[in-house]
Structure 1
Amino acid sequence: MKIIVDGDACPGISIITNIAKNYELEVIIYCDINHYITVNYGEVRVVDSGFQSVDMKVVNECSNGDIIISQDYGVAAICLGKKANVISPKGYIYTNENIGAMLEQRHLSQKIRRGGGKTPNAKKRTIEDDNRLQNNLLYLIKKKNIE
């Protein structure tokens, strides 16, 4: 089991790497050349800045039992299909039961924006988000270690 992070938009990297270090898990963080990420534990892999280049690397690297951290619902859906565990940077766990509704909501929001409408902006990150990420990442690691 390894932890793969879509690092372009992941503010919880220090939480992730600290937990991974404690459990001696491999961590791979992907980012494009427009981002500069350094970590004390794990590996940062830089890819070209092309459309969805980081997403494609995450999906291609993912395998059964890995933990993927991404806020992209499309990446989450593909990784779930590869039997990986997927969690958002805010700590929400994606499942086969909830990903369909999330993809549908994303589609409806895109449709509204294309029509000139507005959708709510993303909320600022809170301490509750950090706590949820930590707790649910630990939950997924412990669940995997029991299986």
Structure 2
Amino acid sequence: MTIWVDADACPVAIREIICRAAVRTKTTAVFVANQYLRLPASDFLRMQQVMPGFDVADNEIVQQVQAGELVITSDIPLASEVIDKGALALNTRGELYTKENIKSRLNMRDFMDTLRSSGIQTGGQAPLSAQDKQQFANHLDRWLAQQ
């Protein structure tokens, strides 16, 4: 099984958690991004750089992911696509996207996007907290333990 990481917007702290967990469990983690990312030297960590462009990294992940694999992303449309392929999607705050919750997440995302395009200030996400990092690490460890 492979962990696919939508690495362009992945926080450094989360990338470090993924790297440590992948090496510890001997699980391949592929970081897909438009720009080169330096990763620790390991046979289990791969960097896949794609051409710059809108959704190029996302499309690459969707093409390569297999059912049962894990995708780390905060991109809700990407999460929806990989769920449709039978993969799992975990956001960088430790929330697992599922068939049961992804449609409501997409609707909320679209609603907030409509508000922003109308000029309404919606604010951004809060900074990644220690609790978010712990929740992410716990979900990742549970998935790894099932492999």
Q: Same fold (TM over 0.5)?
A: yes
* Matched ranges for 1:40-55 at <5 A: 40=40, 41=42, 42-55=45-58
**Residue 136 of structure 2: aligned partner:** 133
Q: In the TM superposition, what is the alpha-carbon distance from 1:120 to its structure 2 partner? A: 2.4
Letter in 2 for 1:32: N
**Residue 38 of structure 2: aligned partner:** 38
* Matched ranges for 1:1-147 at <5 A: 1-11=1-11, 12-33=14-35, 36-40=36-40, 41=42, 42-143=45-146, 145=147
Equivalents in 1 of 2:46, 2:143: separation in Å?
21
Q: Secondary structure at the match of 1:38?
A: coil
Flag as ranges the 4+ runs of structure 1 deviating above 4 A: none
Q: Secondary structure at the match of 1:28?
A: strand
Q: In the TM superposition, what is the alpha-carbon distance from 1:30 to its structure 2 partner? A: 0.6
Q: Deviations over 1:4-56 (max 9, x none)?
A: 000001111110011111111111001103xx411113011111111111111
**How many residue pairs end up in the alignment?**
142
Letter in 1 for 2:31: I
Q: In the TM superposition, what is the alpha-carbon distance from 1:111 to its structure 2 partner? A: 0.8
Residue identity (%): 26
Q: Secondary structure at the match of 2:93?
A: coil
5+ residue gaps in structure 2? Answer: none
Equivalents in 2 of 1:115, 1:32: separation in Å?
30
Q: In the TM superposition, what is the alpha-carbon distance from 1:116 to its structure 2 partner? A: 1.2
Cα RMSD (Å) of the superposition?
Answer: 1.0
TM-score normalised according to structure 2 size:
0.92
Equivalents in 1 of 2:76, 2:134: separation in Å?
21
